[in-house]
Amino acid sequence: MAGGAASGGSAASDTYKEARHWLLMPSWLVLGFFVFAPVCVMVIYSFLTKEFRGGVIWEPTLAAYDQFFFDRGLFGDSDPTLQWTYIEIFWRSIWQAGLATIMSLLIGFPTAYFIATRPDGTRALWVFLITIPYWVNLLIRTVSMKFLLRDEGPMNDALLNIGLIGEPLQIINTNLAVQLGLFYSYLPFMVLPIYASIERYNFTMSEAAADLYATKFTTLRRIVLPAVKPGVIAGCILVFVPSLGAFLAPDLLGGAKNFMIGSLIEEQFKGNAGNWPFGAAASMILLSMVLVLLLIFAQQQRRAGAAT
């Protein structure tokens, strides 16, 4: 998604050169005013003092970031010690998103490979089947997952009936439920970019490897994987990034014990107990992590582009 959009195409046609600034004006106005400006205001808010009931006082301070990393005791006068509560929530989010990414890769790679090696006629149909679930409302998909995984849900019923388990598995409200939810939410994002790079892979290279007595596994590991690495990395980023800031899966499937960044941020803006500068600071930290990942990704893609 990111790579294709950033280039904007190489065709340097200039039929509408004179009108280009007028044509861009509406998007600048709307996106500048309602996306770019809000992100800037959020940055400012993260450095402001919180007011008692959800607002801010216009006094610059680092209090929000300080609260994130340090504990200064009940009255704020003790020596600062590292505050693990929020760091742990971020760490858990990275861990959960990471596991969801690995699960998607394990299922997504073989799927992408299988689809890319189908004959021309059926390939588009397989891709279409992978795309459909992505366009179904994320909330509905998460609710479906909750319904399926419940203690008395259809999955436990089925497993009990075939005698695989003696009593219902308790999956809902565990870390596993959140991982499964994230995995299920973003699985199509893993398959599609990997599929796109395998489709461009030249299979005569696999043949050459086989001719030189490479085993199939060696061929996969030493020839196919390096060739399709940009697609694999793109897939991992596209699953990891939205999983990191996800709100619905941890909220609906995880329960109160499996808090992630998304829920921490949301909590700061609900009701009167919220701390807006703190919520803005947590959002800033999340945004910085994502931007670093996207930069690494962009560099990786550029290097891959230069290599070919």
Partner 1 sequence: MSVNTDVKTYTGFRAMTLVCMFILYAPLIVVTAYSFNASESITTWGGWSLRWYVDVFSGPESAKFQQAAVNSFSIAIIAATTATAIATAAATAIVRGGKYRLRTPSLGLITLPIMVPEIVLAVATLIFFNSIGFTRGYMTILVAHIAFCIPFAYLPIQARMQGIEDTFEHAAMDLYATKAQAFRRILFPLMMPGIISGFLLAFIVSLDDFIITNFVKGAGVETLPTAIFGSVKQGLKPNIMAISTMLLSLSVVMVTISYFVSKWDNTK
For partner 1, the binding residues in 12-51 under the rule CB under 8 A are: 12-21, 23-24, 26-28, 30-32, 34-39, 41-42, 45
User: Using an 8 Å Cβ cutoff, are 249 and 23 in contact?
Assistant: no
Q: Does 11 sit near partner 1 (CB under 8 A)?
A: yes
- Count, residues near partner 1 per rule CB under 8 A: 101
- Does residue 294 interact with partner 1 by CB under 8 A? yes
User: Of the candidates 98, 146, 174, 301, which one interacts with partner 1 according to CB under 8 A?
Assistant: 146
Task: Assess 145 for contact with partner 1 (CB under 8 A).
Answer: yes
Q: Strands 48-50 and 81-82: what pairing? A: unpaired
105 binds partner 1 (CB under 8 A): no
For residues 278 and 286, what is the distance between their CA atoms, to the nearest angstrom?
12
The answer to whether residue 295 forms part of the interface with partner 1 (CB under 8 A) is: no
User: How many CA atoms does the CB half-sphere of 272 hold within 13 Å?
Assistant: 2
By CB under 8 A, residue 305 contacts partner 1: no
* 108 part of the interface to partner 1, by CB under 8 A: yes
Candidate residues 99, 130, 233, 234; the one interacting with partner 1 per rule CB under 8 A? 130
Nearer residue to partner 1 within complex by CB, 72 or 144? 144
Instruction: Give the CA distances from residue 152 to residues 155, 168, 175, 275, in Å, rounded to whole numbers and listed in that order.
Output: 8, 7, 19, 38
Binding partner 1 (rule: CB under 8 A), the pick from 242, 267, 300, 301 is 242
Task: Name every residue whose Cβ is closer than 8 Å to that of residue 166 and which is 6 or more positions away in sequence.
Answer: 160
Which of the stretches 159-167, 229-237, 261-269, 300-308 binds partner 1 when contact is defined by CB under 8 A?
261-269
Q: Please tell me whether residue 135 binds partner 1 under the rule CB under 8 A.
A: yes
Which residue's CB is nearer to partner 1, number 91 or number 269? 269
Residue 119 or 163 having the CB closest to partner 1: 119
69 binds partner 1 (CB under 8 A): no
Angular region, 76: left φ>0, alpha ψ -120 to 50, beta rest: left
Dihedral pair phi/psi, residue 171, rounded to 5° = -105, -40
Nearest to 40 by CA among 261, 269, 268, 287: 287
Q: Which of 132, 133, 114 is nearest to 122 (CA)?
A: 114
Binding to partner 1 (CB under 8 A): which residues in 202-221?
203-204, 206-207, 210, 216, 219-220
Provide the residue type at 262 as one letter. G
Q: Which helix (H) or strand (E) holds 81?
A: strand 81-82
Considering only residues 94, 102, 143, 160, which one is a binding residue for partner 1 as defined by CB under 8 A? 143
Residues 262-291 that bind partner 1 (CB under 8 A): 262, 265-266, 269, 276, 279-280, 283, 286-287, 290-291
Q: Is 87 in the site for partner 1 (CB under 8 A)?
A: no
3-state secondary structure of 44: helix
Among 94, 102, 138, 160, binds partner 1 (CB under 8 A): 138
Nearer to partner 1, 103 or 230 (CB): 103
What is d(CA 90, CA 287) in angstroms, rounded to the nearest whole number?
Answer: 12
Q: Does 227 bind partner 1 (CB under 8 A)?
A: no
CA distance 146 to 110: 27
Of the candidates 226, 195, 184, the one whose C-alpha atom is nearest the C-alpha of residue 99 is 184
Taking CB under 8 A as the rule, does residue 8 contact partner 1?
Answer: yes
Q: Look at strands 70-71 and 81-82 and give their pairing.
A: antiparallel
